[in-house]
Structure 1
Amino acid sequence: MAPTEDDISIEEKRVYAGTAGRTDAYVATESGVVRVALSADKVGAFDMVARDPARDAAILPRRDAPGLLGVATPDGLRVAPVGDDLAFETVDADPVGSKSLVAVGVHDGAFLVAGEDGEIDRVEVDDEGSDPAATSIGTVSDPRAIDGPLVAAGDGVHRVTGSDGATETSGLTAVGLDDARDVAGSGMPLAATAAGVYWLGNGWMTALEGAATAVATDGDGHAMAAVDGDLFVHESDGGEWDAGTWQRSDLPVDEEPVALGYGPGVSVVVTDAGTLCVDAGDGWRHQVVGVRGVAGVALAVVE
């Protein structure tokens, strides 16, 4: 079983980060956002950095500034530059405003957010500090998740279309499936649905059968999926995505995986009981974070 108490402090981590790098995992929960510091598979200190209920989180990379953490909340989109001290601000641009949000993702240099009403908005946050701009790009039924250009919804999977994501021409196109619970839009498009995990080949092709609730990719042939309460991992680089290319992975705790994510060289799984598991290639290590109502996880490189 992977160790739970051999973790290192933030100070030790910063020394270690010189060779392994530091990645922060932001876990969205019903109690707020928990930040967990990682160096490879070493789990460092963790703390609550926001105490408003969080339904999802995503990181917007920026060219000349730290990445921007976006959090979907019942009171709108809250953003903060990634760093040791997070200062959140609420995006008040219409039509987002104080809209109750259920999901947030990143596509073409902007946030995509989904409201409870099904409206999908594109939110641009300028590096120069100018006021954010938000534009509605379409509506879906019962949105659940956003990743890259894909939106998971009760009425299936939708794709953001337009000229390089330009605000004035962006729209949504339904691309199939039913009862989509999650999507992965980096690299091979994947969708988790009530019937299983699907990959986009000549149409949507079955990867895994069963009730799928979460899926994630790293854009380089690796993927994870939660199906019937189990974790499955795809590590093939041969371009195949059928069931034979996935392997069940046993977590070090008997808990259900609910949030999946990738960082540089690391895979992260957060369970329904609030345990964060990380694998840097040598097996899973874990740390009990002690939160419930986990809704999502986003990873950001800090050092």
Structure 2
Amino acid sequence: MAPAEDDISIEEKRVYAGSAGRTDAYVATESGVVRVALSADKVGAFDMVARDPARGAAVLPRRAAPDLLGVATDDGLLVAPVGDDIAFEPVEVGPAPAVAVGVHDGAFLVAGDDGEIDRIAIGSDATAGDATADDATADDATATRIGSVPDPRAIDGPLVAAADGVHRVNEGDAAESGPSLVSVGLDDARDVAGSGMPLAATADGLYWLGNGWMPAREGDAEAVAADGDGHAMAVVDGDLFVHESDGEWGTEAWNAAELPVDEEPVALGYGPGVSVAVTDAGTLCVDAGDGWRHQVVGVRGVAGVALAVVE
């Protein structure tokens, strides 16, 4: 059982960083957002940093300021600088309720429960291709409507998973039409990975984008994540499969992984040198290259996980 937040000092949190540095995993759940401190495969303290039911989480990198954590909630997008003390602020523009959030081209992409997709830039002068202002806050947010999809499920990079398949952000000409959404195929997409090789988890299986969408694993695929450097994970028929090279992406390139708990992974994510899988029973599993370690976080209704470097 984790100690209460008041009992966890900054120094105690830093114990887990060591020479490997500290990465925080933010787990979006029906009860709120749980933060878990990681240092390589060492699992440290965990605490609840938000009590609004969360449908997804994403981290927006910034150059000279802490990265921004964005969380999709019934009240819309909440954002907070990553650090020891998390203080969320509501973004007054964009869809609400929000059902999915991702990051692309220096801004958040947020999906509303009505299917509308907005690009939300933090910083009044932020434009496509320009990272958000380093000192900007939620008060500096601007939203641009880029399209709509039926029943959006997940966003990663330029990809959106929806009931009718996968959609991709088309940047267009900012001086004329601006960004828009283009359907790129498949059906009943549950999750997408937009870093590196495009990947999609659908009711029919896991797919990678080659000469069109190519099958990687047949079955009921529920989740997928990639680090953009050839590493990827996917959940198919309740089992976790791992891709470890930047070569082939067909069936033979995916190997079954055995987690240290007999639970189904439902949310996947990557940080610097670490892979994270969170199960339906609320157990966080982390692998830094020497096998999986785990920590029972004790939350249900897991909807996503996002990782951020703290130090």
Deviation at 1:152, TM superposition (A): 0.2
Q: What letter matches 1:122 in structure 2?
A: R
> Are residue 220 (structure 1) and residue 217 (structure 2) matched?
no
Q: TM-score, normalised by structure 2?
A: 0.91
Query: Which position in structure 2 is the counterpart of 1:70?
Result: 70
Query: Which position in structure 1 is the counterpart of 2:130?
Result: none
User: What SS class does the counterpart of residue 228 from structure 2 fall into?
Assistant: coil
Deviation at 1:162, TM superposition (A): 1.2
Deviation at 1:135, TM superposition (A): 1.1
Q: TM-score, normalised by structure 1?
A: 0.93
- Is the 2:57–2:102 contact (alpha carbons within 8 Å) kept by the matching residues of 1? yes
Matches of 2:274 and 2:152, distance apart in 1: 28
Evaluate the alpha carbon distance shift between residue 25 and residue 188 of structure 1 in structure 2; reply closer, same or farther with a 3 A threshold. Answer: same
- Is the 1:154–1:178 contact (alpha carbons within 8 Å) kept by the matching residues of 2? yes
> Are residue 297 (structure 1) and residue 305 (structure 2) matched?
yes
Deviation at 1:13, TM superposition (A): 5.5
Give the 5 Å matches for 1:21-170. Answer: 21-93=21-93, 95-96=94-95, 99-126=96-123, 127=133, 128-129=135-136, 131-163=140-172, 169-170=178-179
Segments of 4+ moved more than 3 angstroms:
8-13, 163-168
Cα deviations by residue, 1:94-134 (Å, 9 ceiling, x for unpaired): x43xx111100000000000011000000000224362000
Query: Which position in structure 2 is the counterpart of 1:3?
Result: none
Evaluate the alpha carbon distance shift between residue 184 and residue 64 of structure 1 in structure 2; reply closer, same or farther with a 3 A threshold. Answer: same
Deviation at 1:64, TM superposition (A): 1.5
Matches of 2:309 and 2:272, distance apart in 1: 8
CA RMSD of aligned residues (A): 1.8
Deviation at 1:14, TM superposition (A): 2.2
Cα deviations by residue, 1:58-82 (Å, 9 ceiling, x for unpaired): 0000111100000000110000000
Decide which of 295, 306, 311 is 1:287's aligned counterpart. 295
Matches of 2:34 and 2:12, distance apart in 1: 20
Evaluate the alpha carbon distance shift between residue 187 and residue 57 of structure 1 in structure 2; reply closer, same or farther with a 3 A threshold. Answer: same
Cα deviations by residue, 1:152-195 (Å, 9 ceiling, x for unpaired): 00000000011488996100000000000000000000000000
Deviation at 1:17, TM superposition (A): 2.6
Matched positions, count: 292
Q: What letter matches 1:117 in structure 2?
A: D
State, as a whole percentage, how many aligned pairs show the same letter. Answer: 80
Decide which of 150, 159, 173 is 2:182's aligned counterpart. 173
User: What SS class does the counterpart of residue 153 from structure 2 fall into?
Assistant: strand
Q: Out of 168-177 and 268-277, give the one that drifted further.
A: 168-177
Query: Which position in structure 1 is the counterpart of 2:274?
Result: 266
User: What SS class does the counterpart of residue 187 from structure 1 fall into?
Assistant: coil
- Is the 1:10–1:37 contact (alpha carbons within 8 Å) kept by the matching residues of 2? no
Q: What letter matches 2:301 in structure 1?
A: G
Matches of 1:279 and 1:78, distance apart in 2: 29
Decide which of 272, 280, 284 is 1:276's aligned counterpart. 284
Decide which of 236, 244, 254 is 1:235's aligned counterpart. 244
* Structure 1 gap segments, 5+ residues each: 1-7
Matches of 1:165 and 1:231, distance apart in 2: 40
Decide which of 185, 192, 209 is 1:183's aligned counterpart. 192
- Is the 2:13–2:45 contact (alpha carbons within 8 Å) kept by the matching residues of 1? no
Evaluate the alpha carbon distance shift between residue 118 and residue 244 of structure 1 in structure 2; reply closer, same or farther with a 3 A threshold. Answer: same
Evaluate the alpha carbon distance shift between residue 16 and residue 85 of structure 1 in structure 2; reply closer, same or farther with a 3 A threshold. Answer: closer
Q: What letter matches 1:287 in structure 2?
A: Q
Q: What letter matches 1:114 in structure 2?
A: A
User: What SS class does the counterpart of residue 261 from structure 2 fall into?
Assistant: coil
Matches of 1:13 and 1:81, distance apart in 2: 17
Matches of 1:146 and 1:222, distance apart in 2: 18
Matches of 1:284 and 1:230, distance apart in 2: 15
